[in-house]
Amino acid sequence: MQRNSLSIQGPGAVAPAASTAQRPPSAPLGGPPPGRRLGARPDPAAAIRRAWRILRPWPGGRTLFSLLLGRRIPYTGSIRPYVVALDPGAARVRMRDRRRVRNHLGSVHAIALANLAEVTSGLALTAALPHTVRGIVVGITIEYTKKARGTLTAECQCVVPEVVDRIEHPVTATVRDPAGDLVATATVRWVLAPR
């Protein structure tokens, strides 16, 4: 016995929905998309570039991209980063000063600053990685130069070296306050390796 369900086709119109038996092979239910073998890891760089390219031009697209980023990386989402600009090898991300990211001294917490710098370096580097290379953070050092208050902007520019074997690659991100004063500089150490 075949089950049919109902779907709304327009204002007030109701029609039977296609059953799973009628789905074309290009729309699998839970399997890998066509062209990708089962168990293959998705290319995060391509996914980030594609999402940014699709969402950025639309009103609210940067906000939606930023919300999706926070949803995909929950700890990063705790600082509510807002991606202002993203190109392969370059990223600019903002973080609003709000109670949840403050310390007991009334300034932005040091770890919130580190989180902002790390996600900015990660976006810049990941957006530049070729599909044949993967990367993971193995360390971070950060220098705090001023108390952080107000909306903060982190920027990162980097170049991806040629990767033929596992290498360690440092990426630097800076964090500035609304006056443009340097608040923190972070160096994030990434291990890059062929896939």
pLDDT of residue 98 exceeding 80: yes
Which pLDDT score, from 0 to 100, does residue 50 have?
A: 87
> Higher confidence at residue 23 or residue 36?
36
pLDDT of residue 34: 53
Q: How large is the C-alpha radius of gyration of the chain?
A: 21
The per-residue pLDDT of the chain, averaged, comes to 83
Task: Provide the whole-model pTM.
Answer: 0.76
Q: Is residue 131 scored above 90 in pLDDT?
A: no
Mean local confidence (pLDDT), 37-62: 80
Residue 166 backbone phi and psi in degrees, to 5: -60, 125
In words, the CATH class of domain 43-194 is: alpha beta
Could you tell me the CA-to-CA distances from 59 to 51, 56, 62, 65 in Å, in that order? 14, 8, 8, 11
